[in-house]
Chain A
């Protein structure tokens, strides 16, 4: 499904700010697998997702999706294959457009956009039916502006939008990090339901060790642009959070104390 080979990404090459964000990542993800991605700040997690979505240009290696080499495809061209939910609830939808307009936009992801009405009666009925599955009562508010919704509601709608056009791959970039704990739990549960219900292949970047082990069926740890841990199945089932933290600390230089509170709290 997703085949990443020896992927290299360098930001600001040839300048004093040069930073090698990915230094040879190789990752093969079969169809239907739900992979969680962890690592410290600057490990390359978001860059990896960006390289899959097309926002970040690779300067070495290749990215193939469903057997097609997409390494040189710009973001809009890949959008038919890949859906995305951002960390910032404001980033994944248009605040000034209505809920149904946002959904109409997502429903045509990867398709030609013509001069027919974007929101028809038939489509509105479909949208109402789909958004009712969220259980947030939004089906009566389709004509409200997206900006009126709370962060959690917007993330929930963004997740739903990801499923409207039939993309097979879902990229989640810390999409619960900006939410309060209760809302985050709701969105995470919704994520599980949507990934399972649509049999999506998913990558979820997270800062929470517990989430990384509890959600999905494979965990990848990145460090300084490389994959340093890749566990699935029984090996993963045996791992617990303290164990993972220990592995994490070892990668960061052994003696270094973990300074990021969020890792422990999660």
Chain B
């Protein structure tokens, strides 16, 4: 693996760290298996790319992408909370609908950002080579987001959200409006994924209708790798784990793809991801079984 490939993997890993944080919020905090992210990731990319190409300010375009993602999360939450559709199915409905919406937003299957200023542009003033600037910019964004998220989850509001996922009956008895907190959490989760999509479009220079495929699996892989590498109960630690997990996962994939002897190509990415997640889910169970057998 070349240095450029290494930093490229770190950069993508950091972009997807935002997806991992969003997935951590839905899967782990709210206990809400949410597949909306497969739609809200390209939605964020489509909204940001279309606006930037249309001449909008990159930061405002990114903000719009976050809001679009949050809106997608709210739709899923409403389908589940208000209309009692099973959470998994509710999120699949939103995801499928978003595929059409993303095509509408872009007006064509993909949009390229070529010459326009992006949120990365100001960082190029540092004078570093291009392949270092982008990961650095992403690192700053991810660090700020993770710190804000940790602080949010330690607040009274965030605590009520965690109780909503951990024990909804108890939460209601403590005066927590669980339906409201599911809405808020899903909006936040998909807003983060929308942000990831917007940053992906700006660092890679394009948005594509099919780029969302498997986003949930990649996010989940990062969460699981993070939990394996940094086990423990602390909340801040878990969020750091999501970020570290996402970067490690990307490096592992990059390594697998760049080793010629393995014979994998870029289009095998989804297969590799699925196998990795399956192994990560199976391993702890096997280890547990062995421990029981030893006793």
Interface residues in chain A, defined as those with a beta carbon under 8 Å from any beta carbon in chain B: 53, 55, 75-77, 79-80, 83-84, 86, 91-97, 101, 104-106, 108-111, 113-119, 145, 161
Minimum CB distance partner of B161 in chain A: A113
Q: Which of B154, B167, B177 contacts A118 (CB 8 A)?
A: B154
- Complex CA distance for A232 and B242, rounded to whole angstroms: 60
- In the complex, are the beta carbons of B170 and A92 less than 8 A apart? yes
Interface assignment of B233: CB less than 8 Å from any CB of chain A? yes
Residue total for B at the interface (Cβ-Cβ under 8 A): 23
Please give me the residue from chain A that is nearest to B172 by CB atom: A75
Is B174 within 8 A of A91, CB to CB? no
Nearest chain-A residue to B180 (Cβ)? A76
Q: By DSSP majority rule, is chain A's interface helix, strand, loop, or mixed? A: loop
Q: CB-CB < 8 A to A97: which residues of B?
A: 159, 162-163, 166
Query: How far does the alpha carbon of A91 sit from the alpha carbon of B171 in the complex, in Å?
Result: 10
Q: Which residues of B are found within 8 Å of A96, using beta-carbon distances?
A: 162, 166
Closest to A80 in B: B175
Q: Are A53 and B163 in contact (CB under 8 A)?
A: no
Known: A75-B173, A79-B172, A110-B175. A94 touches B166 (CB 8 A): yes
A83 cross-chain contacts in B, Cβ below 8 A: 173
Counting chain A CB atoms within 10 Å of each CB, the highest count among B155, B163, B173, B176 belongs to: B173
Question: Are the CB atoms of B167 and A108 closer together than 8 Å?
Answer: no
Is residue B169 contacting chain A, with contact meaning CB distance below 8 A? Answer: yes
What's the dominant secondary structure at chain B's contact region? Answer: helix
Are B174 and A118 closer than 8 Å at their CB atoms? no
Query: Can you report 28 residue pairs joining A to B where beta carbons are below 8 Å apart?
Result: A75-B172, A75-B173, A76-B172, A77-B175, A79-B172, A79-B173, A79-B174, A79-B175, A83-B173, A86-B173, A91-B167, A92-B170, A92-B173, A93-B167, A93-B170, A94-B162, A95-B167, A96-B166, A97-B166, A105-B159, A108-B175, A109-B174, A111-B175, A115-B158, A117-B156, A118-B154, A118-B155, A118-B156
Judge whether A76 and B156 touch: CB under 8 Å: no
Cα A109 to Cα B163 in complex, Å, equals 13
Tell whether A115 pairs with B152 under 8 Å between CB atoms, given A75-B172, A84-B173, A105-B174. yes
- What is the minimal beta-carbon distance from A169 to any residue of chain B, in angstroms? 12
> How many A-B pairs fall under 8 Å by CB?
87
Given contacts A105-B163, A113-B157, A115-B156, contact A145 B175 (CB under 8 A): no
B178 nearest CB neighbor, chain A only: A76
Interface residues of B (CB under 8 A from A): 152, 154-160, 162-163, 166-167, 169-178, 233
- How many angstroms between the C-alpha atoms of A96 and B156 in the bound complex? 16
Residues on A with beta carbons closer than 8 Å to the beta carbon of B162: 94, 96-97, 101
| CA of A111 to CA of B173, assembled, Å | 13
Residues in chain A near residue B166, CB distance under 8 A: 94-97
Q: Is there an interface contact between A108 and B170, defined as CB atoms closer than 8 Å? A: no
Which residues of the partner chain A approach B172 to less than 8 Å between Cβ atoms? 55, 75-76, 79
B64 to chain A minimum Cβ distance, whole angstroms, is: 24
- Chain A residues with CB under 8 Å of B155's CB are 113-118
**Least Cβ–Cβ distance between B163 and chain A, in angstroms:** 5
Residue of A nearest to B155 (CB): A115
CA distance A45 to B174 in the complex (A): 21
A91:B170 contact, CB within 8 angstroms: yes
Q: Which 6 A-B pairs have the closest CB atoms?
A: A79-B175, A113-B156, A118-B159, A94-B166, A75-B172, A109-B175
Q: Could you say which residues of chain B place their CB within 8 Å of the CB of A145?
A: 233
**Sample of 13 further A-B pairs with CB below 8 A, known A94-B167, A104-B156, A116-B156:** A53-B173, A83-B173, A92-B170, A92-B173, A93-B167, A94-B170, A95-B167, A97-B159, A104-B159, A105-B171, A105-B176, A113-B157, A161-B174
State in angstroms the CA–CA spacing of A104 and B162 once bound together. 12
Q: Nearest-CB distance from A194 to chain B (Å)?
A: 17
A101 and B159 in contact (CB under 8 A), knowing A75-B172, A92-B170, A94-B166?
A: yes
In the complex, A106 Cα to B167 Cα: how many Å? 13
Q: Which residues of A contact B152 (CB under 8 A)?
A: 115
A118 to chain B, nearest CB (A): 4
CB neighbours (8 Å) of A109 from chain B are 174-175
- Distance to closest chain A CB from B166 (angstroms): 4
Q: Is the pair A76, B167 in contact by a Cβ cutoff of 8 Å?
A: no
Q: Which of B158, B163, B171 has the most CB of A within 10 A?
A: B163
**Cα distance A83–B159 in the bound complex, in angstroms:** 19
In the assembled complex, the Cα of A84 lies from the Cα of B162 at a distance in Å of 20
Give the CA-CA distance A237 to B173 in the complex, in Å: 34
Contact in complex: B175, A91 (CB < 8 Å): no
CB distance from B233 to the nearest CB of A (A): 6
